Amino acid sequence: MHTHSLKIGVLIGSVRAGRFADTVADWFVSEARQREDMEVHVIDLAEPALVDELGLSFDRSGDRSGDRSGDRSGDRGRDRVGDRGGDGGGDLPRLAQRIDGLDGFVVVTPEYNHGYPASLKLAIDSVHSEWRAKPVGFVSYGGMAGGQRAVEQLRQVFAELHAVTVRDTVSFHMAWERFDERGRPQDPEGVGKAASVLLDQLAWWGLTLREGRAVRPYEG
């Protein structure tokens, strides 16, 4: 890892019991951690500390009625909502402090009813200046649209916060068909290339904006 590595936060937006998010996020984090130019920190909104801080409340019983995904994550023993622990469990500093210490972000988002999860809105809105002049990329998943409608809405939200969203995304339509039973993508080369393009763009913006903020504090 380089001394001047970019610090990238991967924000996992779903807090649903039995969520598919773990499959997508695990794959993406492992791709990002192969890079030498960045240090990857997971911010999982289902971490108990964040659930408490944000006042998130959700059904941990695993009742997935209303789930249209055919999500298999719970079925294969991957129902880890609430016990994933992110970068270290319950003693983490508050979300805004964690965002403050990072140079850029990738939001892992599903699509719910043509939008993004309420948990993500709550988390994004609970942080203010710490987002400013930093880049945000997206990995999305869902049914036919692959979460793209959620991403387009998130771009509007981040613009209001003076964050810069990067153009290219990684998107999984019919996401549960894009991974095998061990959570490996069916098309590792294709999605690996997409992740690499996203991370290259994030790295360019991340470095450029970090240098810019150091020379000239962002006034907005």
Ligand X SMILES: Cc1cc2nc3c(=O)[nH]c(=O)nc-3n(C[C@H](O)[C@H](O)[C@H](O)COP(=O)(O)O)c2cc1C
26 binds ligand X per the rule CB under 6 A: no
Of 110 and 206, which has the nearer Cβ to ligand X? 110
Chain residues 186-215 in contact with ligand X, contact rule CB under 6 A:
none
Strand partners, 173: 142
Question: Which of 27, 105, 112, 172 forms a contact with ligand X (CB under 6 A)?
Answer: 112
Write out the DSSP string of 143-207: STTTTHHHHHHHHHHHHHTT-EE-S--EEEETGGGSB-TTS-BSSHHHHHHHHHHHHHHHHHHHH
Binding mask 1-20 for ligand X (x = CB under 6 A): -------------x-x--xx
Residue 57, classified by CB atoms within 10 Å of its CB into exposed (0-12), middle (13-18) or buried (19+), is exposed
Binding mask 133-152 for ligand X (x = CB under 6 A): ---------xxxx-------
Closest CA to 12 of 51, 45, 38: 45
103 binds ligand X per the rule CB under 6 A: no
21 binds ligand X per the rule CB under 6 A: yes
Query: Which residues here bind ligand X, judged by CB under 6 A?
Result: 14, 16, 19-21, 66-69, 71, 110-114, 142-145, 175
